[in-house]
A and B are shown apart, each in its own frame.
Chain A
């Protein structure tokens, strides 16, 4: 058996250095990563990377930063929930990680431009959506009205709370938040995120809804959006799957004939409405 180095292998990893770590909540941290030689990740909002901790493994992680906002680095928001993510949470500023990607089809920002946006984020769904939200704010005049609806378990689970406070103050965004389990001092909405949708004033023909959240959320949110007369092709979702390769080969992310890693993770409702195994 012979063995040679394979320079053009898609399994090569880029070296990345952790520049900054922010504890967002009890379970989630935000990592700012700079690639070796300040190489740009050059991603689209909604794409993901394969994050690599050599000796532990690889994990697909959505990118939380806008390609337009910060210098050369990028950010990922990670919940410690598995082998790789738990190991990542133990790392410190200056430690190195491996990066493959970016992979997948992100949010179609050039199609979204000029239209109104209704962004619906449930729980950790804000992680990929933050890349879109920040992109929109970086190019705010290119978009129409922007609504952001946020749903969380409890007030202390709200991610990016400092940024959320900014959204509240901005005159160019309509923002609402609801929690399932309020605390006594909570003054916002209580209940499921679906309850926020009927109250949104929108023009369905020029509105794109972008929905990311736990699987159980999609069915009910999409039902409300359709009730608002938003056309199916203007309802965008992003699906979480455990990709192993990112190249449409390993089979783990397959949704019937589609590969979430190549054909998605962002799909429009018309593409997936007749499929099973989606959510």
Chain B
């Protein structure tokens, strides 16, 4: 079994938002929707000794994904690599999945009346390329791959970072797989974000 996901090294993310535009260009994401959004966390601390990081948020590829559980038609599903996807032909636009997602990373497409989300750029990875946000990333902060494969870019980045520097968004029982690297020398990880 594979678990494909993206790992983001927040030590290297410089908050340029290029991944947002790369994603929108590649996937023709409509105005008003983002499949990937960079959130600024901080600055916090005592001026001028501040900390801050940028947190790119996209589908967290949950192992126990609420979105697929609540979908009444099977439009939201996990494929054989555990990638969470939406089959737009089956989507009836009920938006249950958008309400179920703990991270708000699903988008509504007003032109097609369906829910959309990060696909890990399957159209690119299936022909051997990187997801567009990974390829464009100015800080080389993003790593794509199978978390179950120690040889994948994503697994290697996590291994190099060490367990203390690896974080995940708050788990409310959904087991998010997307992982973030943040060293304590740069900033303390914030479990709750405003």
Q: Do A and B come from one complex?
A: no
